[in-house]
Chain A
């Protein structure tokens, strides 16, 4: 008798490699090339041009040739968006543990330590309060460098507390998401449940009349896209970011046809009605402060 054999359907989209692939400006991936002084020039993922790194950094990690938006670390993002020295970080004593004793090719506990060393981050989330053009707000982000910016218990808890704080303090909250990983596999079902937890906190903020601005950056996928990142009163997205539910490889393998060229980009999501505005990184500060002024009195 044949046993039932269904074709597996994967639903959490993650690019095929498990090791987070970082853009070239990220700390860990530094390939030395002969003949080129290290770190002075970088190759643009967008136009393939070799561009002067200092120039890119001056333009908020945007390619001066083609406007490709490079990865920005969490710390840099805070410097770019918030008023100088206005950020007060919260929840810095939360630490991930390994509730399942999860071991793939390396134990999760070890992976956490390695990621901390590699990225200099405690976790994939940074949260706190600060000012943006003089407007007080709660600010949180997920950094896609740390285990793909995936959401485990600590990320879920930090975001939930941030949302609860915003509700309590009657402040707008801005969350900048970058997550290729969605819900973090290494914490299993507990990660999935963070989606419910964070979304429930957003329900309470919503009922209290609070403002939530969700900013999508490359990439925002899976369980992060299918929870808080999609629940902003306003959804802004950086140009050409990968935004969607299922990873493009998974979709391609399922539908067995070619994907539209702009599939799952910010522009695609705006065209289909799921993004309010695609905003150039250089305009994010002014755009966010402007919409805050429309919503907050």
Chain B
């Protein structure tokens, strides 16, 4: 697969790959000498080592760039690769069809589920339709309506999160962006069927959380999930969005950080060199994760499931409880 969007820190990988390509092209016609074969083998090993090296040590800002990579698999790709069938349901029954959130029946192995997933779009036209993955109130309303239908017909729910954030526009405000996200938070906490949420790219703030309340929350390895975009945070606290890399580091929002903070249950490993290098292998890992996830949740009765979900979020937060009367905050 030829990748056209190259991130600056991936450069050494591409350089070696080009070198390998040249060498292979030179010897396409002839049988390579043992020395050349050795060189090719070494180059391949070196490329793998580099990929591992680079992608195991991404900093927070590099992670953001990987999560936003233009060729990273999106909801539509996974619908193709993970699910055996997808029956899209478009109606929010109120205003319109938000293309930034796809909802519908889906089949994964022999399990029938309700699928909710945010879509950013790939072509310019599709991106414009999807507002670059920034949903409107009608998207959240559609998602909730489908989850409530799932509850009625006892279907488990899958939510794929991939958004820079809910759309900040005039129409979005007029149609109740805040209210619709809030309502989803409240109602998702009491949908009596299993909900699995996976951050597949960007987990942008309230726009992500609006479909992010569930029994099992996971992130793909090279994604982020944050209270605010690094650019937004930098603009406010560092006075300029060019300090996004500093904000990214301070916000502690990579999959590793969130696992440590106890906010997510799992980090799903990406293929060597990240998901944009191998959609199929990423999809296969994701599929087996989902199948296992539903299996482990399927034994729970609705009440147990809801209590478990309540307690999961109830525990979130870090603070001190002290009888002291002075105003002292202890640094971590």
Contacts and interface: CB of A to CB of B under 8 A. Distances in A.
A187 B232 CA distance: 15
Given A107-B331, A196-B313, A18 B236 contact: yes
Interface centre among B164, B186, B310, B323 (most CB of A within 10 A): B186
A10 B173 contact: no
Contacts of A95: 319-322, 328-330
B227 interface: yes
B322 A251 contact: no
A165 to B, nearest CB: 14
Contact of A188 (B5, B209, B253): B253
A8 interface: yes
Interface in A6-30: 6, 8-14, 16-18
Interface stretch (B23-31, B199-207, B280-288): B199-207
Contacts of B289: none
A193 B167 CA distance: 20
Interface centre among B173, B190, B246 (most CB of A within 10 A): B173
Interface residues of B, number: 87
A56 interface: no
B261 A200 contact: no
B229 interface: yes
A226 interface: yes
A227 B206 CA distance: 9
Interface in A254-284: 254-255, 257, 259-260, 263-264, 272-274
B260 to A, nearest CB: 10
Contacts of B213: 196, 199-200
A109 interface: yes
Interface string B224-268: 011111111101111101001011001111000110010100000
B65 A185 contact: no
Contacts of A190: 261, 263, 316-318
A246 B5 contact: no
A1 B332 CA distance: 43
A245 B319 CA distance: 27
Contacts of B209: 192-193, 195-196
A29 B129 CA distance: 46
A10 B189 contact: no
Interface string A108-131: 010011001100001000000000
Contacts of B232: 8, 10-12, 14, 250
Contact of B227 (A13, A94, A183, A247): A183
A152 B317 CA distance: 8
Nearest to A13: B168
Contact of A11 (B176, B228, B235): B228
Interface of A: 1-4, 6, 8-14, 16-18, 93-105, 107, 109, 112-113, 116-117, 122, 152-154, 156-157, 160, 182-185, 187-197, 199-204, 206-207, 222-223, 225-231, 244-247, 250-251, 254-255, 257, 259-260, 263-264, 272-274
12 contacts: A9-B167, A14-B232, A95-B319, A105-B238, A189-B225, A189-B252, A195-B206, A200-B189, A206-B186, A223-B206, A225-B182, A257-B170
Given A4-B70, A222-B206, A244-B177, 20 more contacts: A1-B4, A4-B69, A8-B229, A8-B231, A9-B167, A11-B166, A14-B236, A97-B318, A102-B250, A102-B251, A109-B329, A154-B317, A185-B251, A190-B316, A202-B186, A226-B166, A226-B177, A226-B206, A254-B168, A274-B179
